[in-house]
Structure formats: structure tokens, C-alpha cells
Amino acid sequence: MKKKVLSMVLATSMVAAGLVGCGGGSSETAAPAAEAPAAEAEAEAPAAEEEAPAADAEAPAAAASGNKVGVAMPTKDLQRWNQDGSNMQAELEAAGYEVDLQYASNDVATQVSQIENMINGGCAALVIASIDGESLTTVLESAKSAGIPVIAYDRLIMNTDAVSYYATFDNYMVGTKQGQYIVDTLDLDNADGPFNMEITGGSPDDNNAKFFYQGAIDVLQPYMDAGKIVVPSGQIDFATVGTPGWATETAQSRMENILSSNYADGTNLDIALCSNDSTALGVENALAANYTGEYPVVTGQDCDIANVKNMIDGKQSMSIFKDTRTLASQVVKMVGQIMSGSEVDVNDTETYDNGTGVIPSYLCEPVFADINNYKELLIDSGYYTEADLQ
């Protein structure tokens, strides 16, 4: 299975490269949109359990005790994580749990300390969206020793067998949908080309970022091989195009350099493949300041407010919509199943190897929003109001 092979390659490369520290948060999404940083971590909220579930997806998890759930989110700087945290807290509290919700200001040491406090503070289950998927091995050994099950939320936590389950959107599919949108929008199967493309990837320390990147590249590679898509900067591999921390400013600075070096003579940029909305926002800022050609197709992920506004204004073509309400609901369901000792719902037992084995996963399906359907997806569903997008 192609996705299984991909996951094994990605997991191996991440262990070898030692990834460093984003839905995205977005997102990607990380995922996603850049907003003014918030300095403080947030705390308190509902429910939980205790006692680690079996990592075998086919065996029911051991029943947990307690009613307090620790929810560790990476940052409040990105819109998507605020939504993820608030959705999770609301869902868990509605289900009758006490919640300890913490934001770590994108600081690994802070997140480690918060998780330690959750373990020592009586949390019976942990839901963790990691800042750096490689940096939680030691603290999660304490969770495992205490019999506390761990659900990795959105981002896979690497190199620890303390992770019981993984809940996310289909990250590879996110990339394939971005790539297919480009194929369809430019009619690459019939157009002559060549089309100029530049790539802005996600954060190297986010396990999801390589899935986003690889999904898109797998769709676009045949057109690159045929010469219909060219990359004038020559910056193609993930190590070169990655954006540490999913930072808007970093993406903007890099794109400004690319534009000045390759497009200052009036050459058109036809495609800006951006893995999420915070990086897309940086690219769009660079285009506004330094580009005079025809506007490119710009992809994104997370449907952050600033990016949806740009979509409406014609400055971004699409954004992958990952309804975090759906993901939160699924995680709350999984928490309940763990705590009752029931079999935990998963739909993927092949793709996500964290270096210690494949983690049983539940993958929600993403969709894309563009100018033609954003009202139906984002406003009619209640995700945003009309006023939010003014």
C-alpha cells in the first residue's frame, strides 16, 4: 500500500534527521493562520480517566479511572489551535469530564512541564498536540508508568511507545487535494505549459508537514517530469522548502528572496504551493510587495479567517478545510471508549509509524474550500459568521 510505504519512509527519515521544532494548525497546521502571539498558557477544564489502553487496535482498551482529561495544545498564536482547544474543552465538558487545558506558547520546555503537571495532577487521560513530536519521550514515559493513556492529537508524537492512539485528519490526503486542485484549475492534462511553481512547505518538526508535502508532490510529479511544471528557483526538496514553526514571517522572507531572484524581470509565477494558511499568508504578503506578474494559484490549509478574506479578495485560491469540531467529537468519543474499557474506534492501522510501531489511528477526511463553496462549508455550517469574514 503506497501510503504505508510512505509512512515508513517518512518515519525513518524523521528519526535520521532529528527534526526540530505549528493546523494547522495548521494549518496547517501547525497548521495555520498567523495571528498576534499570546503570551500565556491557559488552564483548567473537564474530564478524564486513568489506565493505559492497549495499543492493539483490535483489543479493547483497559478501563480507566478518574474524570479528569489533560489537553495540551501547542500555542494560542495560531487561530486553529484556539479553535481546537475550545472545541475540545466544550465537547469534553459536555460529556461530563473535568478538563485541564493548557497552551504552551510554542515552547517545548513549557509543554513538557504542563504535561508533567497533568500527570501529577490526577489526569486519567492525555490528549496532546505536540510542539515537537520528538521531544516528549521522557515525559510520556511517566504517563505510561502511571497507566495514563495518551491520544496524539493532529500531530503524531514520535519515538515513544506511550502513545496509545492517534486522531487527525488524513494528512496525505490534504496534500493530494492541494495538488489535484492545481491540476484541475490549470487544466494541466490539456494545457501546454510550462507553468512556474514555487513550493512553501511546513515545519520540519511537525510530522504532518512531510505528509502534506508528499501528497501534493505525488500528484504534481508527473507534470514536473513532463516539463509542464517547472520550479525556477530550483527549491523542491522538503529540507529546502520547509518553514520552521510554520512562521508567516519566515515564509514571506523566503518568498521575497525567490521573487527578487527569479521573477523580477516580469516572469510569471503560476503556482504557489503552500502547505497551510500561515505560510500562504506570508507568500501572499510577499506577492503584494514584490510581484507584478499575473497572480498565481495559491493553496493553503485550515481556512483561517485572514486567508478566507484573501480568498474572497482573490489573493488565495483555496484552503483545505479541516472542521476541528469533527475531530474534537471523535477524540471525545475515543476518550469515552478508553475510559469504559470498550474497543476504540480507529480506521487506519497501517499508515502512521512513530518509530516504535504503527499507532492505531482515526483519520477524518478533509475537504477544500474556495470562492465557489466557502459559504456553504464555513458560514452555513456555523463555523464562521458573515461578520467574521468582513
Give CA–CA dist 129/75, Å, rounded.
10
Structure confidence by residue, pLDDT tens digits, 125-172: 999 999 998 999 999 999 999 999 999 999 999 999 999 999 999 999
Domains 34-170+324-364 and 171-322 agree in fold: yes
Give CA–CA dist 31/334, Å, rounded.
23
Cell 519521550 belongs to residue: 137
Structure confidence by residue, pLDDT tens digits, 68-83: 999 999 999 888 899 8
Structure confidence by residue, pLDDT tens digits, 243-255: 999 999 999 999 9
pLDDT the model gives residue 350:
95
Structure confidence by residue, pLDDT tens digits, 88-125: 999 999 999 999 999 999 999 999 999 999 999 999 99
Report the 10 Å Cβ neighbour count for 160.
Answer: 22
Could you tell me the pTM of the whole model?
0.76
pLDDT the model gives residue 229:
98
Structure confidence by residue, pLDDT tens digits, 351-386: 999 999 999 999 999 999 999 999 999 999 999 999
Segments making up each domain of the chain, as ranges: 34-170+324-364, 171-322
Question: How would residue 207 be classed by pLDDT, with cut points 50, 70 and 90?
Answer: confident
pLDDT the model gives residue 65:
58
Question: Peptide bond preceding 222: is omega within 30 degrees of 0, i.e. cis?
Answer: no
* CATH number at 171-322: 3.40.50.2300
Residues 6+ apart with CB under 8 A from 19: 132, 133, 134, 158, 204, 205, 206, 207
* CATH number at 34-170+324-364: 3.40.50.2300
Of 105, 64, 114, give the one whose Cα is nearest residue 336.
Answer: 64
